[in-house]
Amino acid sequence: MAYMTPLRRTVAMRPVRASFLLMWAPLPTSTLPLVAGFLIPPSELPFSLFVSGAFPSKLLHFACDVLVGVEVPRHRG
């Protein structure tokens, strides 16, 4: 729990950027908003700021998966 104070301080200074980066944590995608909600109270990270960072992050994340899938060569056998 020692990392909570620096994390909350970072979120307070740059909430949109922190939300963007939190969505890249190595956890299941569906749990990330819940984890962010438990770690950072709404008074410190309003929903609108969270969405402003989290939505582009997940959009980019899924776009990377699609691009990698398109670029993978097909096996010819």
Residues 41 and 15 sit within 8 Å (Cβ to Cβ): no
Residues 27 and 48 sit within 8 Å (Cβ to Cβ): no
The confidence score (pLDDT) of residue 71 equals 62
Q: Which amino acid is at 67?
A: L
- Asked if pLDDT for residue 30 goes beyond 80, the answer is no
Q: What is the mean pLDDT of residues 45-63?
A: 86
Angstrom distance (rounded) from CA 58 to CA 71: 20
Q: What is the mean pLDDT of residues 22-49?
A: 81
- CA 54, chain centre distance (Å): 5
The confidence score (pLDDT) of residue 70 equals 61
- Asked if pLDDT for residue 61 goes beyond 80, the answer is no
Phi/psi at 12 (nearest 5 deg)? -65, -35
Q: Which residue has the tokens 């301080």?
A: 9
Q: What is the pTM of this model?
A: 0.65
